[in-house]
């Protein structure tokens, strides 16, 4: 994204508020000559900030701003948006996991082993399925019902939110554990966070509502 000069910014504001507006009118508002403005107007139209129509004048390109914002969104890193993972021990009962899910107000829990390494994912549906026709939820450990390694789809802190969104949509899942890989061959991953569909929606809102002016 090119950095605009103070004058180019002023021109943008004038066009935003008054467009379509001719070069002559912009020049008058800035107490400059038409010739002095020409290079700035050329830059602003070439970069896509402004559009120009013969005999109509310059007008502000709304799409340009939206596209710039969307580009920003694509490059955001998982690390800057990840939330705390809510974890349980593999030996936790399904009953306690359900309680935990409500207490923490999340949709997914992560199971870890005694060294804090990711062992499994327990989602709402996993818990509902386990509860159907199963009377003794206190005696059933989550390790029996969870999705476990090597079937867990993970994401690393340096990957982008776009990558996270793709993984969730393509795999029909609501969240991803953010991990630091200890040993890929042994499937040992240190759990450092979580990304959910809500994370993506929130990031999208934040970026799109960010003022560019």
Instruction: Point out which residues bind ligand ADP (CB under 6 A).
Output: 107-108, 121, 123-126, 147, 151-153, 173-177
Joined together, the tokens standing for residue 64 give 């340009």
Joined together, the tokens standing for residue 37 give 């403005």
Q: How far is the CB of 122 from ligand ADP (least distance, A)?
A: 6
State whether residue 204 is helix, strand or coil.
helix
Torsions phi, psi of 162, nearest 5? -65, -45
Q: Judged by CB, which is closer to ligand ADP: 31, or 184?
A: 184
Q: Judged by CB, which is closer to ligand ADP: 45, or 160?
A: 160
- C-alpha to C-alpha distance for 101 and 114, rounded to whole angstroms: 21
State whether residue 118 is helix, strand or coil.
strand
Q: Closest residue to ligand ADP, Cβ-based?
A: 125
Q: Judged by CB, which is closer to ligand ADP: 77, or 124?
A: 124
Q: Judged by CB, which is closer to ligand ADP: 27, or 111?
A: 111
Q: Judged by CB, which is closer to ligand ADP: 158, or 174?
A: 174
Q: How far is the CB of 138 from ligand ADP (least distance, A)?
A: 21
Query: Around Cβ 196, how many Cβ atoms within 10 Å?
Result: 19
Q: How far is the CB of 30 from ligand ADP (least distance, A)?
A: 55
Q: How far is the CB of 149 from ligand ADP (least distance, A)?
A: 9
DSSP 142-187: HHHHSEETTS---B-TTSBHHHHHHHHHHTT-SEEEEEEEEETTTT
DSSP 120-133: EEEEHHHHHHHHTT
Q: How far is the CB of 76 from ligand ADP (least distance, A)?
A: 19
């Amino acid at each position: 994204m090119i950095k605009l000069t103070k004058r180019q910014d002023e021109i943008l504001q004038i066009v935003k508020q008054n467009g379509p507006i001719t070069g002559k009118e912009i020049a008058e508002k800035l107490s400059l000559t038409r010739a002095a403005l020409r290079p700035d107007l050329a830059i602003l139209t070439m970069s896509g900030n402004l559009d120009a129509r013969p005999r109509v004048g310059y007008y502000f390109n709304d799409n340009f701003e939206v596209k710039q914002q969307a580009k920003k969104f694509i490059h955001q890193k998982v690390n800057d948006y990840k939330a705390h993972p809510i974890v349980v021990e593999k030996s936790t009962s399904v009953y306690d996991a359900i309680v935990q899910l409500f207490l923490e107000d999340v949709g997914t829990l992560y199971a870890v082993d005694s060294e804090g390494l990711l062992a499994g994912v327990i989602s709402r549906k996993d818990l509902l399925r386990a509860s159907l026709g199963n009377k003794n939820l206190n005696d059933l450990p989550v390790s029996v019902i969870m999705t476990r390694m090597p079937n867990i789809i993970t994401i690393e802190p340096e990957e982008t939110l776009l990558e996270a969104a793709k993984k969730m949509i393509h795999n029909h899942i609501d969240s991803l554990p953010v991990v630091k890989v200890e040993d890929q061959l042994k499937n040992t991953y240190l759990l450092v966070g979580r990304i959910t569909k809500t994370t993506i929606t929130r990031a999208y809102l934040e970026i799109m509502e960010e003022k560019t002016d």
